[in-house]
């Protein structure tokens, strides 16, 4: 499933990313072992783009994903999202570190603002770019 026809280049990194991914909203409502098994089966089938957010199950979804991607992190294009209420510069950095800890990884491939909130987008943009999510990608850093 991960051939040229099922992937697209992502942003300035041009990394090939699966066009169909696996979401995790409400995944914590399923039995954890079953959810992990389903996510791993998706990875086996080429669904290597996994999307989550700090708000999904108050972080529980990220913990389930951590189990599913254990030993397979380099196969996954991992996306998480910060809540608008946490999207100040300090809040974004703290939320990102908590997500990284729950996901048991040192990096996210994409870190998004879940939806627009009270903090100016310019502030969100710079903190997102300087967060731990982007350590591996100096091209996206703010000046």
Catalytic residue set: 56
Inter-CA distances, 5 with 20, 42, 50, Å: 11, 17, 18
State how far the Cα of 22 lies from the Cα of 28, in Å rounded to an integer: 14
Query: Which of 87-114 are b and which e, b meaning 16 or more Cβ less than 10 Å from the residue's Cβ?
Result: bbeebbbebbeebbebbebeebbbbebb
Give the position of tokens 């783009």: 49
């Amino acid at each position: 499933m991960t051939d040229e026809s099922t992937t697209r280049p992502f942003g300035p990194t041009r990394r090939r990313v699966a066009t169909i991914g696996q979401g995790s909203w409400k995944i914590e409502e399923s039995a954890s072992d079953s959810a992990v098994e389903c996510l791993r089966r998706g990875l086996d089938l080429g669904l290597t783009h996994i999307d989550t957010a700090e708000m999904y199950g108050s972080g529980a979804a990220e913990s389930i994903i951590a189990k599913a991607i254990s030993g397979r992190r380099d196969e996954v294009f991992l996306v998480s999202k910060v809540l608008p209420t946490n999207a100040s510069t300090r809040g974004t950095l703290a939320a990102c570190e908590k997500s990284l800890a729950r996901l048991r990884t040192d990096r996210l491939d994409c870190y998004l603002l879940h939806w627009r909130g009270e903090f100016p987008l310019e502030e969100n943009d710079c903190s997102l770019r300087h967060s731990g999510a982007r350590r591996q990608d100096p091209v996206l850093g703010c000046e």
